[in-house]
Amino acid sequence: MAIARFPVVVLDCPDPHRLAQFYSDLLDWPVVRDEDDMCFIRADYGDGIGFQKVESFNPPKWPHQDVPQQMHIDVDVEDLDAAEAAVLALGATKHEHQPGTTFRVFLDPAGHPFCLCSG
């Protein structure tokens, strides 16, 4: 029997509302908790991501390790070009370092790296 359920990754960020809305739009998961210092989005099947406010947030400096990324999110997409246009419209930034051809690296509005991956 499991001790816990619904594991949630929580990202530190300067603005939890903005980052929650970004990932809500990206994944089509609703915001289920929206507070001053913490927001959560959750899929109808249970997976979720949390966003925690950190006043002195220093974004990762990927691919360098001066401020390591420590974790990142990969999402599968049907069409890399269409998905790229969509995440850029949501406020993502395409990173200049693109080390592969089956995925693309972006930074979310708080500077966390995430990848669009061809399924």
Q: Which residues of 14-39 are buried (b: 16+ CB within 10 A; e: fewer)?
A: bebeebbbbbbebeebebeeeeeeeb
Q: CATH number for the domain including 83? A: 3.10.180.10
Same domain, 16 and 51: yes
Residues ≥6 apart with Cβ < 8 Å to 44: none
Is the alpha carbon torsion for 18, 23, 29, 35 positive or negative? negative
Q: 68 with 118, same domain?
A: yes
Confidence of residue 84 (pLDDT cuts 50, 70, 90): very high
Residues 113 and 68 in one domain: yes
Contact present, 77 and 83 (Cβ < 8 Å): yes
Note the pTM of the prediction, 2 decimals.
0.81
Q: How many domains does the chain have?
A: 2
pLDDT (0 to 100) of residue 38: 93
Residue 40 and residue 78 in one domain = no
- Model pLDDT, residue 5: 65
Same domain, 10 and 43: yes
58-72 per-position pLDDT tens digit:
998 888 888 887 778
